[in-house]
Amino acid sequence: MTAPTLTTAVALADQLLADFPARAAERQAPGDWGVPLLAGLRAGRTGTGPASAAVAAWAAGLRGGIDHCGLFGRGLAGCLLGLTHASAVEPRLARPAATVRRHVVARCAAAGLRRSGVGWSDYDLIMGVSGAVLALAACPGEAADLEPAARYLLDLCDRDDLARLVVGDDYGNPGLSWNLGRLNHGLGHGVPGGYWPRCSRHAPGCPRRGTTNSTGRSADWPIIYAGPPTGTAVAWSPGRRAADSRVTRRPAAAGGRHGATAPRGLPGN
């Protein structure tokens, strides 16, 4: 990055960080880990600037509580990631980050995680164990901490039809009922979003048995059931019904594509 471009980027970062405390007070929520990530990058390159105040405001918002174990939307894994980045600005936050890490590991090892009739908060990238694995892999700690979560995700893919990932809980929300009885094909709530976390088991201490087959199934699924390209996009239906989940080795015929298209062949939600 050239000097003028760097100067512009730093100025923009400073403005965003300087504005954050007032905005955080207005919405009374900490937001996700983007602010501490930006603050950590800013402090690491050119001094703390307004990063300290932004980190303090973000951390204060955590007092409102954690809603689930995921990476986004007031999740425990997102809290871990945010605290880890924030500790680059305020080193005293490293200790609560280590405490939160232990809670993430314990939550992923809990016996209550479902292996059938799952909801998004069990397995997905936003609220579930897939997001927790990403946070654990990205933050300082023992590689073995990933084992319970990685094993759970691998176990969900122990069948060729991925039947354990068929959504069986809409949390009583009529707006989510479209996904009941289906495999979600999106990146945030679906099969593709869990692919990279399943790969994390290659770290020392993570489970190896059944790894290749389980990870391969989750990688194959979006390819097998992708519709034909339309322009620059590859499309998926909103989700495959359990009764239609017979695996074949050819792309499925074009079907409904609403809600799940993205450029360059990536699932959209």
Per-residue pLDDT tens digits for 113-141: 899 999 999 999 999 999 999 999 989 88
Q: Give the mean pLDDT of 223-230.
A: 59
Question: For position 41, what pLDDT does the model report?
Answer: 86
Cα dihedral sign, 124-126-129-134: positive
> In a 3-state reduction of DSSP, which class is residue 237?
coil
Question: For position 1, what pLDDT does the model report?
Answer: 55
Structural domain boundaries in the chain: 14-220
Tens of pLDDT, residue by residue over 148-195, are 888 898 889 888 888 899 999 999 999 888 888 888 888 888 888 887
Tell me which of 31-35, 111-115, 230-234 is least confident. 230-234
Q: How many residues does the chain have?
A: 269
The CATH number corresponding to 14-220 among 3.40.630.30, 1.50.10.20, 2.60.120.10, 1.10.3720.10 equals: 1.50.10.20
Burial class (CB in 10 A: 0-12, 13-18, 19+), 253: exposed
